[in-house]
């Protein structure tokens, strides 16, 4: 092989290598989001059809933040069907089934579902360390019960003062009211201070409207009644608190 021929071969190989490298340098390996494309939503091309869905669990760094808009789609992506979103709250006294208002209270429902399934990151109350991948409500108690009014739970400390390490905004809808028994609603300390604590009513309570975010309606009145009537002290704290053992979700059959 002549010296001239060898030089030409080396030059050709070098040019090919530079071409591949420069192409990769100019493009991000992370798919661009819609707001990175001049604000316009992009229609995926067929070659992107097999792109994996977003991670099911939130990153630990988001533990002190409420769920982002649209998080509910990610939290429920693995649920089969397209019917109403139903939560089954397994307690030590029976199962409470609640149909969630995902259309009229999407941010509140996303928060509840994400925490219950361990997909929403949260802060452990005592150490303030981030927790992800661990169902938030499992093993917590109903720490406040008032017969013929409501039962309250969702506090990992069991004191009524605990929460996930962040607060969510109120979410009111004119058709969601504390009317009748079985209304699932957020407890709070005032406007926009909800976190993880929730209550289920036993009776109509109009004074709670526009103060607490309704996000579902529960059946199983006998279980709710049994929880509300456990022996409690003067501050409505159960002597032997009923326990939330697990919360699971399904799509109802249409």
Here the CATH number for the domain that contains residue 126 is 2.40.100.10
Q: Is residue 135 part of a domain?
A: yes
Any domain includes 160: yes
pLDDT of amino acid 172: 98
**Assigned domain for 43 exists:** no
Residue 87 lies in a domain: yes
For 69, residues 6+ apart whose C-beta sits below 8 A from its C-beta are 107
**Measured CA angle at 56 (ends 33, 187), to 5 deg:** 100
Residue 21 domain-assigned (yes or no):
no
Residues 132-142 have pLDDT tens digits of 999 999 999 99
pLDDT of 57 reads 87
Q: Tell me the CB-side half-sphere exposure of residue 62, using CA atoms within 13 A.
A: 15
Q: Which two tokens stand for residue 186?
A: 């957020």
Chain mean pLDDT for the chain: 84
What is the number of domains present in the chain?
A: 1
pLDDT score recorded for residue 194: 98
**Structure token pair of residue 44:** 């995926």
**Does a structural domain hold residue 7?**
no
pLDDT at 231: 98
The Cα 230–Cα 218 span in angstroms is 19
Q: Does residue 46 belong to any structural domain of this protein?
A: no
* Domain annotation covers residue 11: no
* pLDDT for 21: 34
- Positions of the chain with pLDDT under 50: 3-55
Q: Which domain holds residue 101?
A: 60-251
pTM: 0.78
pLDDT attached to residue 16 = 35
Query: Residue 167 CB: number of other CB atoms within 10 A?
Result: 15
> pLDDT value at position 216?
99
Which residues have C-beta within 8 Å of that of residue 21, sequence separation ≥ 6?
none
Interatomic CA distance for residues 182 and 184, integer angstroms: 6
The Cα–Cα gap between 180 and 202 comes to 7
CA distance 39 to 33: 9
3-state secondary structure 11-55: HHHHHHHHHHHHHHHCCCCCCCCHHHCCCCCCCCCHHHCCCCCCC
Query: In the chain, what is the greatest distance between 2 CA atoms, to the nearest angstrom?
Result: 101
Q: Are the CB atoms for 222 and 91 separated by under 8 Å?
A: no
Query: Which residue numbers are catalytic?
Result: 144, 149, 152, 188, 199, 208, 212
Task: Using DSSP, state whether 100 is helix, strand or coil.
Answer: strand
């Amino acid at each position: 092989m002549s010296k001239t021929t060898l030089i030409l071969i080396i030059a050709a190989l070098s040019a090919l290598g530079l071409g591949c490298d420069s192409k990769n340098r100019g493009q991000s390996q992370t798919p661009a989001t819609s707001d990175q494309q001049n604000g316009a939503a992009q229609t995926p091309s067929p070659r992107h059809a097999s792109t994996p869905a977003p991670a099911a669990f939130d990153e630990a760094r988001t533990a002190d933040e409420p769920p982002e808009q649209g998080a509910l789609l990610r939290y429920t992506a693995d649920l089969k069907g397209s019917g109403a979103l139903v939560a089954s709250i397994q307690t030590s006294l029976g199962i409470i089934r609640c149909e969630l208002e995902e259309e009229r209270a999407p941010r509140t429902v996303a928060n509840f579902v994400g925490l219950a399934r361990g997909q929403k990151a949260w802060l452990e109350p005592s150490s303030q360390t981030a927790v992800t991948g661990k169902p938030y409500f499992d093993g917590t108690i109903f720490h406040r019960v008032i017969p013929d009014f409501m039962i309250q739970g969702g506090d990992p400390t069991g004191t009524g003062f605990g929460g996930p390490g962040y607060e969510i905004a109120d979410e009111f809808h004119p058709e969601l009211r504390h009317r009748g028994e079985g209304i699932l609603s957020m407890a709070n300390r005032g406007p926009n201070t909800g976190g993880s604590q929730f209550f289920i009513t036993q009776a109509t309570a109009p004074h709670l409207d526009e103060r607490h975010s309704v996000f579902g309606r529960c059946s199983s009145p006998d279980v709710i009644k049994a929880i509300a009537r456990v022996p409690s002290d003067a501050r409505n704290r159960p002597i032997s608190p009923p326990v939330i053992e697990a919360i699971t979700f399904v799509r109802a059959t249409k």
